[in-house]
């Protein structure tokens, strides 16, 4: 096979009759036409090969060797003897009235899926920002038809569509995105969930300690087990320990105060994970205050509770922690005790189920990157399309 045939095959131009090619430091111009053939009239569906005239269109293609590529297409206009109408020959490389090839548009979508900013994609391909926006609007991610058996719900700060927070739904068992909602409000969530007919098939709902989400789960998913993510529970204890440390730290000499501040990780790390020299340093810190030692002991008890392997084991360890926290009379742990009193049943459900909000939190971090690269989105639909395009 001649080299030119291999080149045409490589560039997917086998059907083109290339008449000229010019190249500069920045651009490549390919002049071509298509083979003449009998065509079907789109008006009366009659067959004809009568040519009325030729017209040339310039179409932008994928870059070649780092250079902008332009296709100069000499297209035929056929005359239909049956109905007297004129029409252009079919062109498979670009849509009607489009000045960019289909493969260039697919490449735009691919680059957008790589979490690059829209403007950086436009600059790379030397297209206008509006052209990239049109491609983004062409993509449609419809609302799912059915709810999954395992559903996770959370929110993130999107500042899109006039709402400060948007809601995110994921499938933690499949590690995939389910949907993005324009608002986290109770009304918006209720309107969204009401349309699903398989609400009774949902078996697990994973969430943080949000009363709106809990009430929705109770109302719409009667057969679902509500699970509170462990990460949000642990934070209450670490916050309490940190508040005790800060209180004690203010009473110390400036030199000791700096040491306490720089050594906060010693207090937050599980004792079983500390090295011998770190344990000695920890003992010095705890010797400075009985309250700090008590708070550290409570933190270790709670970590032990969170490491339970079953609900039965977790219930016993939780009771022990609650008694110890009440006996300590540390005001910093009051909020933690209140939280456990309100949510303990849902927290204990996590020990019988393997699902957490970990994937959802990771997705929220990825959304922050998308938002930051674009310097924010005002239009919610564009924001939603970009999230789905990048994360599915």
Q: Provide φ and ψ at 244, rounded to 5°.
A: -65, -45
Report the C-alpha gap between 315 and 154 in whole angstroms: 26
Looking at residue 332, the DSSP 8-state letter turns out to be G
Distance CA 292, CA 249 (A): 10
Domain boundaries, the chain: 3-94, 150-229+366-391, 230-349
Q: What is the pLDDT of residues 21-48, one digit of tens each?
A: 899 999 999 998 988 889 899 899 999 9
Cβ atoms 174, 148 nearer than 8 A: yes
**Would the pLDDT of 261 be above 70?**
no
From CA 189, how far away is CA 201, in angstroms rounded? 18
- DSSP E strand stretches across 13-65: 17-23, 27-33, 39-40, 47-48, 50-64
- Count Cβ atoms below 10 Å from residue 257 Cβ, excluding itself: 14
Q: What is the DSSP string of 158-178?
A: EEETTEEEEEEEEETTTTEEE
- The pLDDT value given to residue 254: 75
Tell me which fold the domain 150-229+366-391 belongs to: Nucleotidyltransferase; domain 5 (3.30.420)
Angular region, 45: left φ>0, alpha ψ -120 to 50, beta rest: left
Give residue 364's pLDDT band: very low, low, confident or very high (50, 70, 90): very high
In the structure, what pLDDT confidence band is assigned to residue 2 with cuts at 50, 70 and 90?
low
Cα gap 102→80, rounded to integer Å: 28
Mean pLDDT score of the chain = 88
Span 141-171, pLDDT tens digits:
889 999 999 999 999 998 888 889 999 999 9
What gap in Å lies between CA 266 and CA 279, rounded to an integer? Answer: 8
Rounded-to-integer distance, Cα 392 and Cα 171, Å: 12
pTM of the model: 0.79
State pLDDT tens for residues 177-233: 999 999 999 999 999 999 899 999 999 999 999 899 999 999 999 999 999 988 888
Distance CA 55, CA 371 (A): 44
**CA–CA separation, 230 and 358 (whole Å):** 9
Distance CA 64, CA 24 (A): 12
- Calculate ∠ Cα 64-67-72, nearest 5°: 75
Smallest Cα–Cα separation from 244: which of 185, 325, 168?
Answer: 325
| pLDDT greater than 80 at residue 1 | no
Largest Cα span, the chain: 102
Mapped onto helix, strand or coil, the DSSP state of residue 150 is strand
Contact 48, 82 (CB under 8 A): yes
Does residue 98 come out as left (phi exceeding 0), alpha (psi in the -120 to 50 range) or beta? beta
pLDDT of residue 373: 83
- Residues 315, 166 contacting (CB under 8 angstroms): no
| Res 5: pLDDT | 67
Residues 6+ apart with CB under 8 A from 392: 141, 176, 177
Q: What is the 3-state secondary structure (H, E, C) of 88-145?
A: ECCCCCCCCCCCECHHHHHHHHHHHHCCCCHHHHHHHHCCCHHHHHHHHHHCCCCCCC
Express each pLDDT in 64-94 by its tens digit. 888 999 999 999 999 999 998 999 988 888 8
Dist. CA 108–CA 85, nearest whole Å: 36
Instruction: Tell me the C-alpha distance between 289 and 249, whole Å.
Output: 10
**What letters, b where the CB count within 10 A reaches 16 and e where it falls short, cover 300-326?**
bbbbbbbebeeeeebeebbeebbeebe
CB atoms within 10 A of CB 180: 23
What mean pLDDT comes out for the span 364-389? 88
Signed CA dihedral, 294, 298, 304, 308: sign only? positive
pLDDT at 50 exceeding the cut of 60: yes
């Amino acid at each position: 096979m001649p080299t030119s045939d291999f080149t045409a095959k490589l560039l997917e131009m086998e059907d083109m009759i290339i008449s000229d090619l010019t190249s500069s430091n920045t651009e490549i111009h390919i002049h071509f036409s298509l083979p003449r053939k009998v065509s079907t009239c789109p008006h009366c569906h009659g067959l004809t090969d009568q040519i009325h005239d030729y017209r040339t269109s310039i179409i932008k293609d994928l870059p070649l060797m780092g250079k902008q590529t332009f296709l100069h297409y000499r297209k035929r206009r056929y005359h239909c003897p049956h109905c007297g109408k004129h029409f252009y020959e079919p062109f498979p490389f670009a849509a009607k009235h489009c000045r960019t090839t289909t493969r260039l548009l697919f490449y735009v979508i691919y680059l957008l899926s790589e979490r690059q900013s829209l403007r950086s994609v436009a600059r790379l391909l030397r297209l206008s920002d509006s052209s990239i926006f049109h491609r983004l609007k062409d993509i449609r991610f419809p609302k799912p038809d059915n709810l999954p058996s395992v559903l996770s719900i959370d929110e993130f700060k999107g500042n899109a569509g006039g709402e400060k927070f948007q809601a995110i739904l994921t499938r933690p068992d499949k590690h995939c995105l389910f949907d993005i909602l324009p608002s986290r409000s109770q009304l918006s969530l209720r309107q969204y969930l009401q349309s699903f007919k398989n609400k009774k098939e949902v078996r697990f709902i994973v969430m943080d300690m949000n009363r709106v989400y809990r009430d929705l789960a109770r109302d719409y998913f009667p057969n679902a087990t509500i699970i509170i993510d462990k990460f949000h529970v642990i934070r209450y204890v670490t916050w309490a320990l940190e508040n005790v440390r800060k209180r004690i730290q203010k009473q110390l000499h400036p030199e000791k105060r700096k040491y306490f501040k720089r050594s906060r990780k010693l207090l937050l790390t599980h004792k079983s994970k500390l090295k011998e020299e770190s344990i000695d340093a920890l003992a010095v810190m705890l010797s400075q205050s009985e309250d700090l030692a008590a708070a550290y002991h409570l933190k270790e008890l709670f970590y032990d509770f969170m490491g339970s392997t079953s609900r039965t084991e977790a219930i016993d360890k939780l009771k022990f922690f609650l008694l110890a926290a009440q006996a300590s009379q540390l005001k910093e742990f009051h909020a933690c005790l209140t939280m456990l009193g309100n949510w303990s049943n849902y927290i204990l459900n996590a020990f019988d189920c393997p699902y957490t909000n970990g994937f959802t939190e990771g997705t929220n971090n990825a959304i922050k990157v998308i938002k930051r690269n674009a310097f924010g989105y005002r239009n919610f639909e564009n924001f939603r399309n970009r999230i789905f395009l990048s994360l599915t």
